[in-house]
Amino acid sequence: MDDHYFSADPAVPFRRQPVRATVWGHELSLSSGSGVFAQGRLDIGTAILFRETQPPAAGTFLDLGCGYGMIGLALAKAVPTARVWAVDVNERAVLLANENAAALGVADRVTALTPDEVPTDVRFDEIWSNPPIRIGKPALHALLLTWLPRLAPGGRAVMVVGKNLGADSLQRWLGEQGYPTDRLASAKGFRVLETRAVNNG
């Protein structure tokens, strides 16, 4: 079986590859790597997420399934007071995200970890994610039901999901779980969803 970017320790040789992007008016020069999602590029879904949203004003944020850190680092650059936690099961992704945070000068506000390393008492004002849909529906549902309860009261999650990968059914399912979810935008086969934590406390 081929290695996947959601493997904890990909077996493919580790080669770094630069990625450059302009997000919310900020230039980001990052390193991606083999065995990590979207090696060498800003993927279309994340690009749409950025294009269809504006950065929040302040808060504590989670980049869920961070890869090499593009979303969390964009938040840190756009929101000078932001505290960002970035999580990924892929240890190579965590390494790259922390390296990129240091290179951008935001390592004091951005921490990349594997999920089990995040302190249990941390709550998030917002979760931002291009979630790993290809792990399968049961695993994706379990992932979201692990992290959505950690939203602060009144918090939200912003996610980009491919329509052909089940964005609309995911939107309905989230509502059924007590997380009202609206579609903020639809572009190039992707939905940008906003999920509210109305009952978290």
Residue 157 has pLDDT above 90, yes or no: yes
Give kind and range of the element (H or E) at residue 163. none
Residues 6+ apart with CB under 8 A from 171: 181, 183, 191, 193
Residue 198 has pLDDT above 90, yes or no: no
Task: Specify whether the backbone of 24 is left (phi greater than 0), alpha (psi in -120 to 50) or beta.
Answer: left
Q: How many CB atoms lie within 10 A of CB 58?
A: 12
State the average pLDDT over residues 54-69. Answer: 96
Give how far the C-alpha of residue 32 lies from the chain's centroid of Cα atoms, to the nearest Å: 15
pLDDT at 200: 64
Residue 71 has pLDDT above 60, yes or no: yes
Query: Which three-class secondary structure state does DSSP give residue 158?
Result: strand
| 6-20, 133-147, 155-169: segment of lowest average pLDDT | 6-20
pLDDT at 13: 66
Residue 159 has pLDDT above 90, yes or no: yes
SS (H, E, C) 11-47: CCCCCEEEEEEEECCEEEEEEEECCCCCCCCCCHHHH
> Using an 8 Å Cβ cutoff, are 112 and 29 in contact?
no
State the average pLDDT over residues 106-116. Answer: 98
The model's confidence at residue 10, banded by pLDDT at 50, 70 and 90, is low
Query: What is the model's pTM?
Result: 0.91
Average pLDDT in the chain? 92
> Using an 8 Å Cβ cutoff, are 120 and 112 in contact?
no
State the average pLDDT over residues 177-196. Answer: 97
pLDDT at 112: 98
How far is Cα 138 from Cα 142, in angstroms, rounded to an integer? 6
The structural domains of the chain, ordered by start, are 43-196 (3.40.50.150)
pLDDT at 21: 96
Burial of 142 per CB tally in 10 Å (0-12, 13-18, 19+): exposed
